[in-house]
Amino acid sequence: MQKQLDALLDAARAELAAAADNAALEQWRVTHLGRRSEVTGLLRSVGSLAREERRAAGQAANAARRDLEAAFEARQAELRRSADGAQVDVTMPGYPVRLGSLHPLTRTLREIRRVLAPLGFRAVSGPEVEWDRYNFELLNIPADHPARDMWDTFHIHDKARPGELLLRTHTSPVQARVMEQIQPPVRVIVPGKVYRYEDRSAKNEAEFMQVEGLAIDEHITMADLRGTLTHFVRMMFGPDRELRIRASYFPFTEPSAEADMSCHACGGKGCSVCGGTGWIEILGSGMVHPKVLADVGYDPDVYQGFAFGMGVERIAMLKYGVTDIRSFYRNDLRFLRQLR
Amino acid sequence: MRVPFEWLCELTGIEASVDDVATRLTNAGFEVGAIHRAGEHWDRIVVGEVARIDSHPNADRLNLPTVNTGSEEIQVVCGAWNFEVGDRIAFAPAGARLWDPYADEPVLKELKPTRIRGVVSRGMLCSTKELGISDDHEGILVLDPDAPLGRPLAEALGGEVLEFELKANRPDALSVLGIAREAAALYGAEVRSPIPDERPSEDGSSRPVELSIDDPALCARYSAALVHDVKVGESPAWMRDRLEQAGVRPISTIVDATNYVMLELGQPLHAFDWETVRGGFIGVRTPRPGERLVTLDGQDRELTPETLCIVDAKGPVALAGVMGGLDTEVTDKTSTVLLESATFDPISIRRTAHRLNLRSEASRRFEKGLPPELTVLALRRCVQVIEEIGAGRGEFLTADAYPAPSDPTPVSLAFDRIERLMGVAYDRSEVRQALSALEFGLEEDGDELCVTPPFWRRDVSAPADVVEEVARLVGYERIPDTLPTGQVMDVAPGEIDERDDEARDVMAGLGFAECVTYALTSEARMARLVPPDLLDASPDAPLGDADAWAAVRETAMNDAGRTLTDRLLPLDREPLRLRNPLSMEENALRLTGLGTMLETLRANRRHADRDLLLFDYQPSFLARDGDLPEEPNFLTAVIGERVSADRWNETGTVELPFVRGVVDELLARSGVPTDQASHDDLQHPTFAAGAAAAVTVEGRLLAAYGEVDAEVAAAFDLDERAWALLVDMPAVRAASSGAPSFSAWSEYPSALRDLAIIVDAEVTQAEVQETIQRAGRPLLQSARLFDEYRGEQIPAGKRSLAYALSYAAPDRTLTDKQADRAHNRVVRALQHRLGAELRG
């Protein structure tokens, strides 16, 4: 019977290959898979065989039938594809996929966290509406200090405690909040929204994101600060980046430093991104002022450490080539999709 | 602070290039924000002389100077009159490039020959603004008579000006001498102090000046010098040039001399017309009740009790450190001048200058705290300058009140403190050299170093300050790169919840684009979340309307839906308001982000007709009495009417179950399984009636969602249906059962049964589902709704619901009979309890 089946299959396959349209195909199906087809006949005849042959014959006939069915479907699909003489056009666009996106600031913040986490920095948050005490006084910026001019401040109406509630102008108050709650070692970063009483423009926002970093222990040095920042800019902007730090002034650090990195666009030769200088200013930093440590109850003769702060939009603008800081807050889907 | 480079060089003798000096000062903490190169664009501008001035035949307000350029005479048309025949001026012939004085942004424009009222002009006499030297466009620049005729202007006037961005801690650096001291220290050069040595005062010739300081805390020192035979007039060109380059407008000899010394030494000086000061007396005190002063700007001011004043025998003559009085102003009739050089309390000056909005070069310096030692030095220098320019002759010091002299306090530190803080070693000789170069006094006792800062460095008061001086003078490039070692933290207070990241990821996965919106909003924007007809408000009320929110709070209080959603859509609360908003359109902190998100939806609707799915995950601000506000992270999502369906151009319409699907997935991923939360009809003015739901667990609201009320959508200028979802993520966390736990399923095949029933329309799906679940126990594995139908084939007031039910036993394959038995129980329960009919 196997021979009979093989012959049958060969013949059927040949006929199938010759079937060039749906009518011929249907004719073939009726002939070879229909109720009166040979295979069906063979299957029916299995019952009449000797008991010991039935099993093998039944399996062979069924296998043959499955082969024919598969061949039929394949030919059917082939004919469908070549219908009208057309191949599938693989350049057709895919059906719309509805996958959303994370905001570029969220993505940048996550990257910053990812870079600093292996160095032991944990991400913490603090309130955006703050007391004057945390935003200024505990950072060595007493009332009427001229350094307050560095931060144009939004004040909040509060009849009970006038003048004390404000929108934080930097993420630095969280430094004091963390240190008040735990003893060293401290190693945190603080991402979050900050506010400046400043007209919005392409370069300045009244609301923007900062990331603060703070590391306090018995032996953390300015060299550790520099090493951390160098690692950071290389992880964010490529292994060829160089870091330059220069003296600066912040009331809550001493010594203070501003950090520039060699321009990632021109490699330091000077271009429009870096204003021709080869350097891009990216953050402010320094060794935490002894007064700040003492005010939260740390002994400044025992503990020391560094702090740094950067604008997240600035990092994102450099990474993505965005030129208007307000783009991040317009939430235009064309922008969000481009930077997804 | 603008410092002409040649002035800086004059005080130091440094011969380095301007770029090198700028770089080294920047690295040492004196950031040069810009180097202005006067003359950079003056390629064709020359020193000319006015040879003749003719009147314009067709215009009275114009004249026709003819300029001798040394090689030719050129006639131009000019609108300024402040020059005479023989004056040397900056002449730009046609083809030269000049700054456009009328442009908003700096723009260089090429000068072309033009015909003005019928006369051809072949060049221009330049103002300082056109040359880019200053913003002054009143009249043309008249040069020094010695300016070399015909030579390029750059030779006569050129030069670089360094613009410093100075820090709040260095009042000494608000002076050319201060910068010169730094530069000299960095280059190992000597400072050439311009301050003359003392000279004995001439006796008898001057009238005595009586000084009085009421409170030394408000005025540490007051020094005065009389100048006689005063000649008020124009200052010499060299002085005017320097002032202009430094950004100060020249006025007249005496005022110019005081400004010049302020720029040079950092000490503001004030000049009184001594003849107008009554009683030969100068006092420093706060005003008495009712005292007033007409200040130089002509304003008659009532003096508040805390305003520090300079008074004469009769009353106030100046606001100390802030502005002089009109009556004692130096005029061209003045013959004797009293020069004031004082040390005022920085806080007092700062408060007065801020309160009156009169911040000046002088007040900026006083605010930062000036050393009392400087007053007498500045007086000497000023008198010397006045004599040098022939504007009078005077005494170096006529009177001096310094009730409580104080000296800088020495600072002690161990040498190794420097290495301990910096993480790198410094030789003791380097330390000594750096501090000596900055003129610090040094004493050593073994490993201890005792440092006495010079009088102008009162900012140095602690060991860390000294470390910084050493480090920055040696150069920060000395510092190596190391990484912090040692312990890491076990606990991080306020640590950011990783589930915040997960929630964002889930929303992005569900098709939503994350937005980051402003926390500042307006009360009127939030008020738009209530339909205007409920508020009796105009739908077009401006976003700056301050009363809008009061109307919201007065409307429909105690409404059940509003009470339930009080946290998420807090229409009954007062927002936190700014005392100093940038505009009324952002005068408050948001109670909800929904208004801003509906605006964002609208803005995106302008360029997209589908798939507008947006979410924002930022705090709202809920005030608390006597404490900081609560800042819960609320998730706010908005959805436009149409979303893409299966093929390229097919779209579906968003309906409530679409939003429900999002809610279920978000909550399930946040630890609140779908069957633990109840969804109930929500009546709320922001949502359309009958198309909104509140999600609660044990009575606590987790989320609210639904179709935005059509009037509300219209108030946000939306021309189609919109959907909103608000989730109180902290509440979700609180209701969360934590990490999901595993429960085993049956390994045996399931028996599937479909079920279609007809029930009264009031019967909820939740009731049907609950009935099925209860009656199906223990074999029922799941009951999935797959259709809802209302219409022709169903009686009015009824609807059909269809479910796919799956039965299985944990330990065996169910027989058909067993499955049927279980299914029949479910059917009977539905018939019995809910009056359901089986649909054929």
Residue A86 clears pLDDT 70, i.e. is over it: no
How far is it, in rounded angstroms, from Cα B819 to Cα B242?
101
What total of structural domains would you count in chain B? 6
pLDDT for A158-198, tens place per residue? 887 888 999 999 999 999 999 999 999 999 999 999 999 99
Report the mean per-residue pLDDT for chain A.
90
Instruction: Note whether residue B491 is domain-resident.
Output: no
A96 assigned to some structural domain: no
State phi, psi for B151 to the nearest 5 degrees: -80, 155
CA distances from B647 to A96, A97, B610, B643 (A): 7, 10, 13, 11
Q: Mark whether B361 and B449 lie in a shared domain.
A: no
Tell me whether residue B142 is in a domain: yes
Count how many Cα atoms sit within 13 Å of the Cα of residue B159 in the half-sphere of its side chain.
Answer: 20
* Cα angle B366, B351, B397; round to 5: 30
Q: What angle in degrees, to the nearest 10, is found between the helix axes of A38-45 and A51-82?
A: 160
pLDDT tens digits for range A308-318: 999 999 999 99
Q: Any chain A CB within 8 A of the CB of B558? A: no
pTM assigned to the model: 0.83
Same domain? For B504 and B455 the reply is no
Encoding tokens for residue A320? 């993505």
Mean pLDDT of all residues in B693-722: 94
Tell me if B120 is assigned to some domain. yes
Burial (CB count <10 Å: 0-12, 13-18, 19+), residue B285: middle
If you average pLDDT over every residue of chain B, what do you get? 90
What residue in B sits closest to A109 (Cα-Cα)? B501
Residue where one domain finishes, among candidates B421, B447, B478: B478
Using 50, 70 and 90 to split pLDDT, how confident is the model at A69? confident
Q: Which of B401, B429, B447 is the last residue of a domain?
A: B401
Q: Is residue A141 part of a domain?
A: yes
Distances (CA, A) of B96 to B67, B72, B90, B92, B380: 15, 16, 12, 6, 44
Give per-residue pLDDT as tens, B152-190: 887 777 688 999 988 888 999 999 999 999 999 999 999
Looking at beta carbons, which residues of chain A come within 8 Å of B612?
Answer: 333
Are the C-beta atoms of residues B49 and B88 closer than 8 Å to each other? yes
Residues from chain B that touch A258, judged by Cβ atoms under 8 A, are: 31
**Packing angle, helices A22-33 and A51-82, rounded to 10:** 180
| B446 shares its domain with B572 | no
Q: Are residues B397 and B415 in the same domain?
A: no
- What is each CA distance from B399 to A55, A77, B213, B737, in whole angstroms? 130, 110, 12, 81
Residue-level pLDDT at A85: 58
H-only helix segments in B372-427: 374-388, 416-422
Cross-chain residue pair A223–B516, CB shorter than 8 Å:
no
pLDDT above 90 covers a percentage of chain B that reads 66
Distance from CA of B706 to the nearest CA of A (A): 20
What is the per-residue pLDDT across B711-762, written as a single tens digit (0 to 9) for each?
999 999 999 999 999 999 999 999 998 888 888 888 999 999 999 999 999 9
Is residue A47 domain-shared with residue A167, that is, in the same domain? Answer: no
Mutation site, A99, A112, A113, A156, interface B, largest B CB count within 10 A:
A156
Output the pLDDT for position B118. Answer: 86
> With 60 as the cut, is the pLDDT of residue B347 above it?
yes
Give the pLDDT of residue B387: 95
Q: Which of A35, A50, A85 is the last residue of a domain?
A: A85
- pLDDT at position B59 is 86
Residue contacts between A and B (CB atoms, under 8 Å): 277
B432: CATH: 3.30.56.10
Query: At residue B205, does pLDDT exceed 60?
Result: no
Query: Which chain B residues are within 8 Å of A188, Cβ to Cβ?
Result: 489, 492
Nearest to A178 by CA among A165, A191, A170, A189: A189
Q: Can you give the pLDDT at residue B30?
A: 93
Domain count, chain A: 2
On whether both B217 and B91 belong to a single domain, the answer is no
Query: What tokens were used for A99?
Result: 């996958």
Kindly state the average pLDDT of the residues B76-99: 86
| A7 and A108 fall within a common domain | no
Assigned domain for A93 exists: no
Q: What is the DSSP string of A229-284?
A: HHHHHHHHH-TT--EEEEEEEETTEEEEEEEEEE-TTTTTS--TTTTTSSEEEEEE
pLDDT band, residue B576 (cuts 50/70/90) = very high
Integer Cα distance of B218 and B404 in angstroms: 12
Task: Give residue B692's pLDDT.
Answer: 94
CA end-to-end span of chain A:
64
Q: Determine, yes or no, domain membership for B329.
A: yes
Mean pLDDT in residue range A135-145: 92
**Residue A229 predicted with pLDDT over 60:** yes
For residues A174 and A246, membership in a common domain is answered with yes
Model confidence band, residue A279 (pLDDT cutoffs 50, 70, 90): very high
DSSP string, A77-125: HHHHHHGGGPPP-TTSPPPP----B--HHHHHHHHHHHHHGGGTPEEB-
Is B628 within 8 Å of chain A by CB? yes
Q: Is the pLDDT of residue B366 over 80?
A: yes
> What does the pLDDT look like over B137-160, one tens digit per residue?
778 888 878 788 888 887 777 688
Residue B787: the pLDDT is 93
DSSP state, residue A138: G
pLDDT higher for A121 or B548? A121
Mean pLDDT over B279-305 rounds to 93
A158 part of a folded domain:
yes
Residues B130 and B34 in one domain: no
Contact map slice: A 150-179 vs B, CB within 8 A: 150, 154-157, 160-161, 165, 167, 174, 177-178
The first and second tokens of residue A244, run together, are 């330059």
Q: Domain for residue B138, yes or no?
A: yes
Same domain for A68 and A132?
no
| pLDDT of A253 strictly over 80 | yes
Indicate if A113 and A227 belong to the same structural domain: yes
Torsion sign (Cα): B478, B483, B486, B492? positive
Cα–Cα distance, A57 to A47 (Å, whole number): 10
- Are A260 and A198 contained in the same domain? yes
In degrees and rounded to multiples of 5, residue B2 shows phi and psi of: -100, 125
Q: State the smallest CA–CA distance between residue A257 and chain B in angstroms.
A: 8
Q: Which residue among A147, A217, A255 sits closest to B471, beta carbon to beta carbon?
A: A255
d(CA B135, CA B129): 5
The predicted structure's pLDDT at residue A150: 82
Closest by Cα among A155, A157, A189, A183 to A169: A155
Residues from chain A contacting residue B363 (CB–CB below 8 Å) = none
Per-residue pLDDT, B538: 66
* pLDDT tens readout for residues B222-261: 999 999 999 999 999 889 989 988 989 899 999 999 999 9
B466 membership: H or E segment, kind and range:
helix B463-474
Residues B375 and B448 in one domain: no
First-last CA distance in chain B: 90
Confidence (pLDDT) at A49: 79
Angle between helices B237-245 and B253-265 (to 10 degrees): 50
The CATH number linked to B780 is 3.30.70.380
User: Are both B168 and B153 inside the same structural domain?
Assistant: no
* Residue A42 lies inside a defined structural domain of this protein: yes
**pLDDT value, residue A3:** 79
Q: Are residues B357 and B248 in the same domain?
A: yes
Residue A61's domain comprises 2-85
Of A1-10, B374-383, B539-548, the poorest mean pLDDT is in B539-548
A235 touches chain B (CB under 8 A): no
Q: Are residues B226 and B308 in the same domain?
A: yes
Look at phi and psi of residue A275 and say left if phi exceeds 0, alpha if psi is from -120 to 50, else beta.
Answer: left
Within a 13 Å sphere around the CA of B120, how many CA atoms are in the beta-carbon half? 6
How far is A132 from A143, CA to CA, in rounded Å? 9
Report CA-CA distances (Å) from B792 to B173, B797, B798: 88, 11, 11
Under the banding of pLDDT at 50, 70 and 90, the label for residue B654 is: very high
Gap between the Cα atoms of A206 and A332, Å rounded = 19
Distance from CA of B583 to the nearest CA of A (A): 10
Interstrand relation of B613-619 and B513-515 (parallel, antiparallel or unpaired): parallel
Residues of B in contact with A249 (CB under 8 A): 29, 167-170
Instruction: Point out the domain boundary residue: B157, B176, B202.
Output: B157
- A150: chain B residues, CB-CB within 8 Å: 168
- Would the CB atoms of B26 and A101 count as touching at under 8 Å? no
Does residue A31 sit in the same domain as residue A148? Answer: no
Range of the domain at B179: 2-38+163-187
Please say whether the dihedral angle defined by the alpha carbons of residues B560, B562, B568 and B570, taken in this order, is positive or negative. Answer: negative
DSSP 8-state assignment for residue B166: -
Query: Residue A81 domain-assigned?
Result: yes
**Tens digit of each residue's pLDDT (9 = 90 or more) over B577-625:** 999 999 988 999 999 999 999 999 999 999 999 999 999 999 999 999 8
Residues B141, B267, single domain; the answer is: no
Q: Looking at the structure, tell me whether residues B82 and B8 fall in a common domain.
A: no
A168 and A151 in contact (C-beta within 8 Å)? no
Between B640 and A48, name the one with better pLDDT: B640
